[in-house]
Structure 1
Amino acid sequence: MAFLNSSNTWSSTFYLTGIPGYEEYHHWISIPFCLLCLIGVMGNCTILHIVRTDSRLHEPMYYFLAMLSLTDMCMSIPTMITLFRVLWSISREINFSACVVQMFFIHTFSFTESSVLLAMAVDRYVAICHPLRYATILTPRLIIKIGIAAFLRSAFPVIPPLIRLALLPYCRSHLLSQSYCLHQDMMRLACADVKFNVIFGLFLMTALWGVDSLGIFVSYVFILHSVLKISSREGRLKALSTCASHICAVLILYVPMIGLSIVHRYFKHSSPLIHIFMANIYLLVPPVLNPIIYSVKTKQIRQGILHMLFPKKSIPM
């Protein structure tokens, strides 16, 4: 019976939701979403291109920045596909199998981004606290291993709850509350015990996001301790300025993520517009703002962009 139910579930059709009450304005609403998506993709692709082509940026800090850009795109692009299908009235239907793939990308790369931010915090710690050993500690081989480990650490734990979803019966409405698939949303539609998914989801958030955020906090405690030992005010400010972009990236990921979790857990019966607004901020804002922040705050990235736009002009480093 479980096998038959699983087979039926994989072939089931679910229905995505746009913005309730504003269906006649979906085409107009899609314009700012399209602009944000375009800015995010162009910004992250620019970061990846500059880091790859500019030999002066072949350093650990910029390798991690490239990982962050790649993670942002892998998390947002699958979401944008179904979002625009709904807003442009192409189709609101999505098969459960496609839903699972989308959930895998969203949740896996959300956890991966958190791991990359932890790696970037460690990078800043080594650069400030052990500058003479920076190049010998964070070698390209180690950075590749960190990137692979961050992905595998995020991907494998996501698989069990997704498989469990396929074993659940969905005898209630198949209408999702978002224009893409989220694990929390799918659990709401199941008409069976979802205790495993709830407990496992809390465990994942604690074991991954919780450990990452604690590691980032501890890294900055050591960074501040080291910075306060610098005698000159200019030296302290210069050391802290190298962390400004990373701190902004951490806040951009964790603040919407915490807000979305609070809304799903404690405001289940609030206006659906609040849920949609928080979910879109969570998935749209980091890919858009991260490239902008690093372009503005990081001199080398800014100069790389100018060199790409005006290759014939000499830009002082």
Structure 2
Amino acid sequence: MFHKAITPEISACEICPIGNFGTCTFACARTVEEFFARGKVCTYQASQTIWDAQTTAGFWGVLTAGYLRLLHYGFDGRRQIVSLMMPGDIISKAQDCSKGFVLEASTDAVICQFDDAIVRQTLIGSPDFARAVYKMRMNKLDQLRLLTWALGTLTAEERICAFLAITTRFMPFRPGLDGSGILTIELPRPDIADLIGTSVETISRITRRLAGEGLIRIRSPRTFEIPDVPELARRGCVETIFETQVFPMRARVGRAQMSPASDDSIRITDTLTARSGAPRASTPVRADCAPKRSGHVAAALDRRQ
């Protein structure tokens, strides 16, 4: 059974913490307004379980604040965080997937949660929303590929440098006039260690070494001044994907360029309908979902040999 929503009624989208980021970026304004008006805001405390291996009911929502960790325990009991959910990400669990995984709140988090039937109805009846979900899934898949590549090919120092550089894209980062910036890490250090496959002690040792080399300046355990972010990304071997990797809070590029009735939207909706076995909705696509100006953001992954 899911945790009861602490906040019973959803706030207006205009005051949503993520605003027009994430899923809302790729769907037309009318669809977003109508869909999110049917949800409810659920608040979770840090380390609270959202769903686990025994949870069978469907779960669908959009993370609007905080961070979540999708983790798995090995046979030796060691915890591995396999994905980090950030504001704007879609949070879901189908009945026949995610077995053996646990989703927990890494920090205090807020999820805009929806009934599974409402989600399925909207996916079938609103091609622009189906396209938005598809694009968000593809962006998350690229992030998982990046994490897998980093765990398999980079050293502990390179992974820490890559983590610090990439988090400037979606965590609080205050740039300076001289090209430097101050980064605030919002994740607990044990979660960082389990995400990048190292230990808390190794993170402390390597960050002190990087500070000694002038790549970073440690202001507090969670605050770092970075004199040269591109150089830090180069040290972490992610310089070629640093600007192309898409994160929800940096994906605000306006509404989708294609109209809800475009060929790509229809193909995506047909695929989702076929997989669910449900008949396609006969309701015509609304003409008021006019496309907004946007560019198609494609994520790239550098595969090092």
TM-score (norm 1): 0.26
Greater strand content: 2
Greater helix content: 1
TM-score (norm 2): 0.27
